[in-house]
Structure 1
Amino acid sequence: MTDLGKLGFGTWAMGGPYSFDGEPVGWGPSDDAESVRALRRALDLGVTLFDTADTYGCGHSETLVGQAFAGVRDQVVIATKWGFTFDAETRRMTGTDGSVGHLRRAVEGSLRRLGTDRIDLYQLHIGDLPLDQAALLRDECEALVAQGKIRSYGWSTDDPERARFFTEKPHGIAAQADVNVLFDNPEMYAGEYAVLCRRPLAMGLLARETFDVLPADDVRVTNPAWLRFFVDGRPSPEYFRAREAVRDVLTSGGRTLVQGALAWFWARSPRLVPIPGVRTVAQVEENAAALRFGPLTPDELAQVESVLR
């Protein structure tokens, strides 16, 4: 069984700029050399889970993960995703494809970019795919396990029914969903599977003290329907007030706000694995230091829940 650990790092922002329907869906410019240094530093600090997707930077994020861990592949757990189609040359996402044929092509592409012979956790990236289509993909994932190309699989979806469905076969072990201290979703982790928690720092709302003007090619400026923590590139007033209401509890005991936000997960449920996005060594070091502090105490967790819930 794939061991996901307590903390992983996400690599969406490392992929650099790319677009969908003419709108940016990346996080602005990134520094490839710094991204690779950050990934390697994470492993030095004991973090072994790294989450990416074939569509992040239209393949670029996977390539960086492969470069960072060439020679130490057996020391890391690589999770990636499939389901979106894209043009790598123009850095454009072009749509979705929930077919078995696309799955077979996508896994080969990811293996090539990652420079590996197997993917530890392979995740369906189309969050609302109908269950009858998902059943075919689930069966194909079991076949890919038998072939040695993947070790386990899961579904990146915010629907508990879909998450449970995809983990009913032997090697379905995880879901990926929006969960953080400001936006809890306990129904998602009521099952027997692990949950990789995307946006655990609320797209940066729980990581930054000040919010300068974001670049025009940053996804937080474009107001996609799923983005709840920012409006027009500025923090959502509702979630900003919630953050301030629990700041003192989260930063107690010498933690930074980031470290307190991560500590909430480990107090909330053993099934939760936060995967904050990183692209600099400094971000890696601050995030990884949360492991030294451990979870919020029961009293601290109770205070947070009483204020927010």
Structure 2
Amino acid sequence: MTAVPARRLGRSGLQVSALGLGTWPLGGDMSAGELKLGYAGVDEAETIAALERGLEAGVTLVDTADAYGAGHAERALRPVLASHPDVRIATKFGNLIDESTRQLTGVDVSPEYIRSAAEASLSRLGRDRIDLYQLHTPDISTAQAEDAIATLEDLVADGSIAWYGVSTDDPELARPFIAGEHCTAMQIELNVLDDNPAMLELCESADLGVLCRSPLAMGLLGGRYSANRPVAGADDVRTHQPEWMKWFVKGTPSPQYLEALDAVRADLMSDGRSLVQGALAWIWARSDRAVPIPGFRNAGQVDDLAGALENGPLAPDAFERIEHTLRGRDAA
């Protein structure tokens, strides 16, 4: 097997594949009250087989959360992780979950809850240690952040977790965690249509790794959806409107984002790449710290994702043209 390009995960020094795999779809249905936040119609066996295919292709990082399917994604990952003990697992905490109803029922970042959430995730995952434990609900006070950091350092000391980080796009919410000795990564929104210079700059200055959520803009950058081909499934999160869902409007791609995509499609697909591969290649060209963690449902999608590793980052001239087109600036 050809060696897969690696990225250093911040201060930890851990080397992970330049591509990770995200397991939100594996969680299936979940809700917060009446608001649907999961993926309908997921064939779990097919998704697990696709994940296995990705790991066999050399992916060494899997990202999940206790919130995905209200615990279901973590449970579904257990047999896969047992077969691949060397794969790094990143999960998240902060949401209260009800596994019996697949509901997110609130937020808790108290020291007591962080400890119990870590224990529960370890049990569901079948692991003795979480490689990267990420705060999923970062809108907390400075005092809460300080308590959370102290608790996370305690979890490092007792061996439950190795490193920790935060999922946020707000540098001010991220900043308190930088002081934590074992803080090593931030999970940020980053894709070719949505740059994130403030968080990238913070991660660079603090020597943190960067996990990139929504690297394909919730599937918009897969090229499958259009104004005439919306998302299928009334229970799919993209047919609902959580406040961050900007790429789709009730299941139909946003006209603004479609226009931006059309403007750079040719450059993304340069050098024989698929649109998906070009979107990932832009991320790698944007930052040598960035590890995209796209979601997937089937082996064909994983093959397309893994294929991006063969060509690596976009060529500088293609990247430059995209930056000028989308942001009116030279990449340099």
TM-score (ref. length: structure 2): 0.90
TM-superposition CA deviations, 1:200-228 (whole Å, max 9, x none) = 00000001333344211101111111111
For 2:69, the aligned partner's letter is G
> 1:156 — aligned with what?
167
* Match status 1:300 vs 2:329: no
Task: Report the 3-state secondary structure (helix = DSSP H, G, I; strand = E; otherwise coil) of the residue aligned with 1:90.
Answer: coil
1:45 and 1:288 in contact (8 A); partners too: yes
Task: Report the 3-state secondary structure (helix = DSSP H, G, I; strand = E; otherwise coil) of the residue aligned with 2:187.
Answer: strand
Runs of 4+ in 1 over 6 A off after TM superposition: none
Give 2:72's match in structure 1, choosing from 60, 67, 72: 60
Task: Report the 3-state secondary structure (helix = DSSP H, G, I; strand = E; otherwise coil) of the residue aligned with 1:175.
Answer: strand
Matches of 1:163 and 1:274, distance apart in 2:
19
Give 1:288's match in structure 2, choosing from 306, 309, 319: 306
For 2:316, the aligned partner's letter is P
Match runs of 1:160-171 below 5 Å: 160-171=171-182
Give 1:276's match in structure 2, choosing from 294, 301, 315: 294
Matches of 1:133 and 1:291, distance apart in 2:
39
TM-superposition CA deviations, 1:134-175 (whole Å, max 9, x none) = 111111111111111101000011111222321322210011
Deviation at 1:116, TM superposition (A): 0.5
* Match status 1:126 vs 2:141: no
> 1:220 — aligned with what?
238
Task: Report the 3-state secondary structure (helix = DSSP H, G, I; strand = E; otherwise coil) of the residue aligned with 1:164.
Answer: helix
Matches of 2:19 and 2:294, distance apart in 1:
8
The 10-residue stretch of structure 1 (108-117 or 36-45) with the greater mean CA deviation from structure 2: 36-45
* Match status 1:194 vs 2:209: yes
* Match status 1:113 vs 2:113: no
Give 2:273's match in structure 1, choosing from 225, 248, 255: 255
Matches of 2:223 and 2:38, distance apart in 1:
18
1:14 and 1:35 in contact (8 A); partners too: yes
2:89 and 2:132 in contact (8 A); partners too: yes
Unaligned runs of 5+ in 2: 1-11, 328-332
> 2:26 — aligned with what?
14
For 2:248, the aligned partner's letter is F
* Match status 1:40 vs 2:52: yes
1:8 and 1:48 in contact (8 A); partners too: yes
Give 1:29's match in structure 2, choosing from 41, 55, 60: 41
The 10-residue stretch of structure 1 (258-267 or 129-138) with the greater mean CA deviation from structure 2: 129-138
For 1:132, the aligned partner's letter is A
TM-superposition CA deviations, 1:75-104 (whole Å, max 9, x none) = 201000000011101111111111111101
Task: Report the 3-state secondary structure (helix = DSSP H, G, I; strand = E; otherwise coil) of the residue aligned with 2:71.
Answer: helix
Deviation at 1:298, TM superposition (A): 0.9
> 1:184 — aligned with what?
195
Aligned pair in 2 of structure 1 residues 3, 161: CA closer, same or farther (>3 Å)? Answer: farther
TM-score (ref. length: structure 1): 0.97
Q: Provide the identity percentage.
A: 51
Matches of 1:163 and 1:3, distance apart in 2:
23
> 2:4 — aligned with what?
none
Give 2:255's match in structure 1, choosing from 216, 223, 237: 237
Unaligned runs of 5+ in 1: none
Task: Report the 3-state secondary structure (helix = DSSP H, G, I; strand = E; otherwise coil) of the residue aligned with 2:104.
Answer: strand
Task: Report the 3-state secondary structure (helix = DSSP H, G, I; strand = E; otherwise coil) of the residue aligned with 1:200.
Answer: coil
For 1:62, the aligned partner's letter is E
Task: Report the 3-state secondary structure (helix = DSSP H, G, I; strand = E; otherwise coil) of the residue aligned with 1:224.
Answer: coil
> 1:71 — aligned with what?
83
Deviation at 1:127, TM superposition (A): 2.7
Matches of 1:25 and 1:97, distance apart in 2:
19
> 1:209 — aligned with what?
224
Matches of 1:36 and 1:8, distance apart in 2:
15
Matches of 2:145 and 2:232, distance apart in 1:
37
Matches of 2:16 and 2:217, distance apart in 1:
21
Matches of 1:193 and 1:130, distance apart in 2:
22
Deviation at 1:121, TM superposition (A): 0.2
Deviation at 1:4, TM superposition (A): 3.3
The 10-residue stretch of structure 1 (228-237 or 30-39) with the greater mean CA deviation from structure 2: 30-39
> 2:3 — aligned with what?
none
Deviation at 1:257, TM superposition (A): 0.3
For 1:300, the aligned partner's letter is A
